[in-house]
Structure 1
Amino acid sequence: MADTVKTMKLHIHMDDSDISSVEYMTEQYRLACNFVSQYIFDHDFPMSSVTLSNRLYQTIRSEFGLKSQMAQSAIRTVTARYDGIRTQMREKPYKFKDIYTNKWHCIYRNLNWLQKPVLFSRPQADLVRNRDYSFVTDQKTNTTYLSLNTLDGRIKVTFDVPACFSDYFDGTWSFGTGKIVSLKDEWYFHIPVTRKNDIEFDKDQVKHVVGIDRGLRYLMTTYNEKDQTSFYSGEAVCRKKDTFNKVRAELQSKGTKSAKRALKRISGRENRWMSDVNHCLSKTLVDTYGSNTLFVMEDLTDVSFDENLRSRNSKQRNELRSWSFYQLEQFLTYKTEEVGSKVIQVSPEYTSQRCPKCGRIHKANRDHDSHLYTCDCCGYQANDDQVGAMNIQLLGTLWISGNENPKFRISEQGKAIRPTS
């Protein structure tokens, strides 16, 4: 049973003296991270925190003035970043097309593919609970302060209290290492909080099986066991993405320092907006179906190299690559685990080409321009996104029945063979 992990984001308020202390600490921490990153890059990527601590701890303490715990945290911050990059490289190998055989080849990458060390450009600092940060309450005023350790000593700051703040202190949540960051001259403290889930998903108790087809024209198309289909339009999202792309292109063409700063601001704004969209979509699904629901999605790990994607124009390819399909899956996963539901991934093979009524698989049955699927065997017609959701839902039903890896295969007659492991 997976744990529930959330991030509590606190908007903190400081006077000029406290801001000066925090700015100095986060800048020294950033420089220390870049020092560690350069060492890792130059020495064939040693990733053991113990090894790096033995080699770099004293230098970090003396050259950057970090305290003992902060020096250790800086090493862990850098190794965590490299671990993340290594995972991304492993999950997204380098793919190229042989011009002579017209076949695609795959090369799995490692950190040696990096051309330069990871750069930490944004002032930040990771602070350990009860060592570098804690919450203290003034009994006279009943005010809770955030106590932060800086290189100039500890400071106590106020913060905006989120609505769910008290819920995290009921004894069921554990606090992780917090991160202090700055955004638009405002300071924030992000704390990961973890709770063990008491509700476990049980196949035998499933009430709903929901197939989810993801795209851009419709961000989601869902189909359930009651033959109910829901469409979540992506028209407004595409318009806003076009606006971001136009502004980005104008700034990139200028190439000035102020334009580059503006590009960073826009990137952060777009990422926050995309996260909000994915949060709303995932919350809508969980609120609609509740507990004991199996949500079924296609495994889109290699969506950028899908045959269908390569056949699209450059604008459509950029939109598909930039949309955060994986983030939607992450948000839905942790939200469903809280209520005793589950998300699984299934093979995307033939889900958009298979007739959900007779099982005929024929690529030409799907008309991308009209978004209509018409079976040349039985005559069944439906929206192509709906057909995808219906086939995905069927694979989920087969998973419930005991098939751990259901997927469609095609026979010589163009009919779907019964999905097998």
Structure 2
Amino acid sequence: MEVKRTIPVKLDVPDERRDDLHQTIDQFNHACNYTVEHGRNNDGYLILNKSKIHDKVYYDLRDETDLPANLCVRAYSKAVESMKSTVAEWKKGNSRPLPRFGESSAVYDKRTLTIKDRSATLSTINGRVAVEYVLGDYQRSYLDDDDYEKRMGTLHYREDDDSFYLHIVLLKEVEERGGDRVMGVDLNLKNVAVTSTGRFFDGGELLWGQNHYFRVRRSLQDKGTRSAKQALARLSGRENRFVLDRLHTISRRLVEEARTHDCSYIAVENLTHIRERMWNGNDQTRRQMHQWAFRELQEILAYKASEYGIRVEQISPAFTSQTCSRCGHQSSTNRDSETGWFECNECGQEYDGDYNASKNIGLKLVTLPEGKRPSGLGDGHLALKNGTLNPNGDYTAYDRASSEGESHVQAHDFSRG
């Protein structure tokens, strides 16, 4: 499988060239907006073909801006991709405005950007700018990995720390992991993630952070002054980085858990309408659910898992919280909506509700019929803390005493799972 990584690298920009980068970003956005405003044919329809849009706006962009030729191409290409997305939504019957570009960024390719291990040069409205990297261990680990090919990048300016960043895109091929062992993962508010192998990732720190930023944001909004609005912009950047840092940590540990149990697949819920499906309680809980980054966590998880050849598969969430993972009995009264505790009305088995759901999520992937299951999954086995379940419900315990360090197993009765 192809693994794609985008690595943010802080740039040490010479003071005398900072304005060149600012103006380049501003003119790049102007070129994108010009493309949207003028990229129509004689019948008034948006032009979504890049060859035709080139004929329509390229020479105008050269006159309208001081951008070099290849940055003009990158600008109209970015605009076309956004217009395609908008038209796709229109065809679905969804109302969506035409794209408008105002973010502090510009897209570069190999002709406008030269990427080296510790420095880069970027095309601007005033020739090329040479910049040095300000690197941490994370960035070094990727830039020094010869298996990754450095492809392109996006120049960003962050107002909160008054710095430029280059988001470098890296690509490499990774062999998919063999085997048919699955780890189920349930996402929730109190517990960010719970695995079928019995790992719980508490959401308290994230909820505390979101509540803290909410209170500060509300206080600044009430003031309404210019300085308060500037502080709000800086606060937004800090909050986003706070959340992303926690999500990266959780997703990394989920991948480590999958590798520890020799899993080739991680099963997660399809997130469509997740907020409507979950109990939303009082106003604070509803706000927290609205802010909660369920989809971002799944995307980061898939991103990190792919580097080890582990595939993340989405399954239907129907009844995963109401069904007993031991006997299969399904009832809306099995789980207490207040405490989240699960007690089966049929067999009496008791679990933490999120843990029970994580096993059901994994079992759904394991028991998918032929033709619907991922290629390579085979019979499928659900990974638990001390063993695995097969589609027939047979439990097999890990042999922890194996001198080879592999997951050798011996058969046990399913009821012990």
Q: TM-score range by the shorter chain?
A: 0.7 to 0.9
Q: What is the distance in 2 between the residues matched to 1:233 and 1:169?
A: 34
Indicate the residue corresponding to 2:129 in structure 1: 155
Q: Matches of residues 206-355 of structure 1 in structure 2 within 5 Å?
A: 206=180, 208-224=181-197, 229-290=198-259, 292-306=263-277, 308-309=278-279, 312-355=281-324
Task: For structure 2, list consecutive stretches of 5 or more residues without a partner in the other structure.
Answer: 375-391, 394-417
1:140 corresponding residue in structure 2:
none
1:114 is matched with which residue?
Answer: 96
Q: Which residue of 1 aligns with 2:26?
A: 27
SS at match of 2:199: strand
Aligned 8 A contact 1:209 1:393 in 2: yes
Cα distance between partner residues in 2 of 1:133 and 1:190: 12
Instruction: Assess, with a 3 A threshold, how the Cα gap between structure 1 residues 304 and 355 changes in structure 2: closer, same or farther.
Output: same
Please report how far the alpha carbon of residue 293 of structure 1 lies from its aligned counterpart in structure 2 after TM superposition: 2.8
Shift of 1:401: 7.8
Relative to structure 1, the CA distance from residue 287 to residue 357 in structure 2 (aligned partners, 3 Å threshold; closer, same or farther) is: closer
**Secondary structure at 1:351 match in 2:** coil
Supply the distance in 1 between the matched residues of 2:233 and 2:335 (Cα, whole angstroms). Answer: 40
| 2: CA distance, partners of 1:250 / 1:169 | 44
* TM-score, length basis structure 1: 0.79
Q: In structure 1, how many angstroms separate the alpha carbons of the residues matched to 2:171 and 2:69?
A: 26
Structure 2: how far apart are the matches of 1:367 and 1:294? 30
Instruction: Rate the CA distance shift 1:237–1:170 in 2: closer, same or farther, 3 A.
Output: closer
What displacement does 1:40 show?
5.0
Equivalence for 1:81: 82
| Residue 48 of structure 2 corresponds to residue 12 of structure 1 | no
Matches within 5 A, 1:74-223: 74-83=75-84, 89=89, 108-110=92-94, 113-115=95-97, 117-129=98-110, 131-135=111-115, 144-163=118-137, 164-165=139-140, 168=143, 171-183=146-158, 184-197=161-174, 199-202=175-178, 205-206=179-180, 208-223=181-196
CA distance in structure 2 between the aligned counterparts of 1:201 and 1:71, rounded to whole angstroms: 41
Q: What CA distance in whole angstroms lies between the structure 1 residues aligned with 2:219 and 2:126? A: 43
More deviation, 359-368/256-265: 256-265
Structure 1: 5+ residue stretches without partners: 91-106, 138-143, 406-417
The structure-2 alpha-carbon separation of the partners of 1:314 and 1:50, relative to structure 1 and needing over 3 Å to count, comes to farther
| Count of residues in Structure 1 that have an aligned counterpart in Structure 2 | 369
Residues 135 and 358 of structure 1: CA distance in aligned 2, closer, same or farther (over 3 Å) = closer
Identity %: 25
Q: 1:263 to 1:47 in 2, by over 3 A?
A: farther
Shift of 1:180: 1.1
Aligned position for 1:104: none
CA separation of 1:317 and 1:44: change in aligned 2, threshold 3 A: farther
- Per mean C-alpha deviation after superposition, the further-off stretch among 73-82 and 61-70 is 73-82
Deviations 1:143-175 (A, max 9, x none): x53222111112222222444547546653232
How far, CA to CA, are the matches of 1:371 and 1:169 in structure 2? 46
Contact 2:258 2:266 in 1 (8 A): no
CA distance in 2, matches of 1:344, 1:70: 37
Shift in alpha-carbon separation, 1:232–1:361, aligned structure 2, 3 A: same
